[in-house]
Amino acid sequence: MKRNNKVRLVIAAVIFFMGLLLSGCGDQKTGGPPPMSEVAVVTIQPQPVVMTTELPGRTAPFLAAEVRPQVSGIIQKRLFTEGSYVQAGQALFQIDPALYQAALENADASLARFEAQLTTIQLKAGRLRELLAERAVSQQDYDDASAALKQVQADIQYATASRQTARINLKYTTISAPISGRIGRSGVTEGALVTAGQPTALATIQQLDPIYVDVAQSTADILRLRRLLQEGQLDPNGKNQQKVRLLLDDGTEYPIKGNLQFRDVTVDPTTGSVIVRIVFSNPKGILLPGMFVRALVQDGINKQALLVPQQAVSRDPKGNPVTLVVDEAGKVLQRPLTIDRAIGDAWLVASGLGEGDRVIVEGMLRVKPGMSVKAVPFEKGEKTAEQ
């Protein structure tokens, strides 16, 4: 009985090992090369692209006027509300006019005295002229009367000018707004003594609609743009060439586009840049003087731009941009790139790619140069395991 059990165990073991051997042989017969990796590619095609440059800058008032007194005196009243909008010619401050009113009245009196003397001297000079013709008076008497007449006439002219000056000074005791705009805080209060031409402004008025945006552009960028225009790589006559977009300090875009006004002709030696001035409409007062902004200035249109998705570009150990392409034989090649700038979610390629190149966008981590791959068109929104 025991012998039969041992025989059965031996037979079972032999059958088990034979099954393993046959299974291994079957695997060897069905084995083969691993399947090719699948990658998603985009085919590079030239396309027109609007070239823009982002420039930092600050806002500046369209007009600005510092209000200063033109006569000296004590401030009697402040006639405006700080921060309000004032019209040109609106009264802002009132200086005590008493001294200037008295000066005007004194000038009026002097003029009246000289005018009263004029009539008497004119009649005397006329009579002496007639008597001189009859030789009834001497030439000296007539000459004295004629000189006295001219003296009185000169005194009248001087008194007239003095009266005009006194009238102007009296008018200046009411300090008016030189321009229309938003007025800031007052630099003086009622009862303060002010002097003509003082260095401290009483208030500042700024016109904010429209408003200037002054941005700095490096001379290197200007020279590069000129070279591209001369080589025909940029079309300077694109639509809305003079329109400028504006990004506020919080990253939001200003809803109104501005107009490029001019580029300065003087280079700042400390920064190597020139000032570009842009005019923006500001009806709601969103833009305030001194705000930091970024302007998107249109340089032109590149009609043969080559764009590659940013996710398709990596860096080699030296930090240089590279990408992987699939050639006609289905093999992966590595291409070094020269990148101009970012445009949206793509890179503008200056060199390294050509029309018709198939660039790997997804599946880059599963392949390396020299491998054979299966290329399928890339569709935006699809996700792979490595992503």
Judge whether 332 and 371 are in contact, CB under 8 Å.
yes
Does the residue 24 lie in any domain?
Answer: no
Q: Where are the beta strands (DSSP E) in 186-306?
A: 193-194, 203-218, 243-247, 258-263, 273-280, 292-305
Specify whether 284 is located in the same domain as 361. Answer: no
Residue 196 lies in a domain: no
* pLDDT recorded at residue 100: 94
CA distances from 74 to 183, 194, 254, 344 (A): 21, 6, 45, 61
pLDDT at 19: 56
pLDDT at 140: 78
Domain boundary, last residue among 146, 172, 198: 172
Residue 301, pLDDT score: 78
Ranges under pLDDT 70 in the chain = 1-34, 130, 132, 136-137, 228-229, 231-242, 381-387
Cβ proximity of 300 and 308 under 8 Å:
no
What's the pTM value of the predicted model, to 2 decimals?
0.67
Whole-angstrom distance, CA of residue 222 vs CA of residue 357: 32
pLDDT of residue 65: 94
45 with 55, same domain: the answer is no
* Cα–Cα dist 367/387, whole Å: 14
Q: Are 191 and 270 in contact (CB under 8 A)?
A: no
- Tell me if 343 is assigned to some domain: yes
Q: Tell me, yes or no, whether 161 lies in a domain.
A: yes
Same-domain status, 253 and 334 = no
- Count CB atoms within 10 A of the CB of residue 171: 14
Among 301, 329, 359, identify where a domain stops: 301
CATH code, domain with 333: 2.40.420.20
- Domain total for the chain? 3
2 domain-assigned:
no
- For residues 175 and 76, the answer to whether their CB atoms sit within 8 Å is no
Range of the domain at 138: 97-172
Domain co-membership, 275 together with 332:
no
Q: What is the pLDDT of residue 131?
A: 73
Answer yes or no: do 144 and 218 share one domain: no
Q: Which of 301, 320, 335 is the last residue of a domain?
A: 301
Q: What is the pLDDT of residue 104?
A: 93
> Within this chain, do residues 318 and 284 fall inside the same structural domain, yes or no?
no
CATH of the domain at 109: 1.10.287
Asked if residue 221 and residue 167 are part of one domain, the reply reads no
